[in-house]
Amino acid sequence: MHRIGVLLTDNFQLLALSTMSVFEFANLVLGEPFYQLSIYSDQGGEVRSSTGVTLQTQPLDATASADTWMVAGVLDPLAAPASEQTTLFLRDAPRHARRVAGICTGAFVLAQAGLLDGKRATTHWAHAKSLQQRYPTIQVQDDRIFIIDEHIWTSAGMTAGLDMALGIVEKDFGAEIARNVAHRLVMNQRRSGGQTQHSEMLALAPRSDRLQNALEFARNNLSKPLTVEDLADAVHLSARQLSRLFRAETGKSPAKAIESLRLEAARLMIEQSRLSLDTIAREAGFRDRRHMREVFVRGYGIPPQSLRAGKAME
């Protein structure tokens, strides 16, 4: 039996509790109740979420123990620091627990307890700068889904907590069990810890259905030599109309938007597969490996080989 203790503070974000579903379904996949879930707060009793929903919790007293502690985040971590009792408890937790994890801005609570000193960590991208400024000894990596540094885990924005929980299941039981759990949860993909928080489709943020459909068409056909005319035909517009729409809604030309999608696709393949760079360049639609390298350096400031080397070190 592996005990999961979820630690909540007042105004916790309700989505943090979704991580418990990962362990619930892991038990179903395993066919036995391996993970035992408990919810704690410093004083116990009712704890109010940021939505107003309240939850009954157990107190952080002498009987509180877990093999894995998961600390929920809040909307404004600087305005709601953890209590002294919580920080003292967490400071001692690594002596007794297998791992301690911060979900989203829960990283601030871990930092307050001194658990992130000198370690790599991440948090929601909107709070990463504040985390780095307040705790300069932390190596904040604001573009990662989750990070493992020895026995300390941290995740990015709230849904990334699900990926981190799946990472814990994979660490305990292997990739096949984690994939089965992700499938049961109908998760679109099981994102690796090294994957970026940011999505090019979200960054482009088109408002019109036609432009969204054009981008989806492009993303599904990146290995082909796409032209503006191809995208325009797919959404029944002229090339001129589509170009005008692209610039108005995304600030980019169709060609630049396609290049951004190719770059993101290549990066994800580098992060998540062992395919050769030549194969990745071909699948992402670049002319060749050299062309992909040029776009990588222009877009990310590093060559693709550096990204793969950094992934191998994690």
Catalytic residue annotation: 104
Q: Report the alpha-carbon distance of residue 36 to residue 26 in Å, rounded.
A: 11
Residue burial 151-175, b: 16+ Cβ < 10 Å; e: rest: ebbbbbbbebbbbbbbbbbbebbee
Q: What is the DSSP letter of 82?
A: P
Contact between 152 and 117 (Cβ < 8 Å): no
Contact between 17 and 162 (Cβ < 8 Å): no
Concatenate the DSSP letters of all residues of 251-277 into one string.
SS-HHHHHHHHHHHHHHHHHHH----H
Contact between 226 and 285 (Cβ < 8 Å): yes
Q: In what order do the strands lie in the sheet with 99-102?
A: 45-48, 54-59, 35-41, 2-7, 68-71, 99-102, 152-155, 146-149
Number of C-beta neighbours around residue 137 at 10 A = 11
Contact between 217 and 234 (Cβ < 8 Å): yes
Number of C-beta neighbours around residue 42 at 10 A = 22
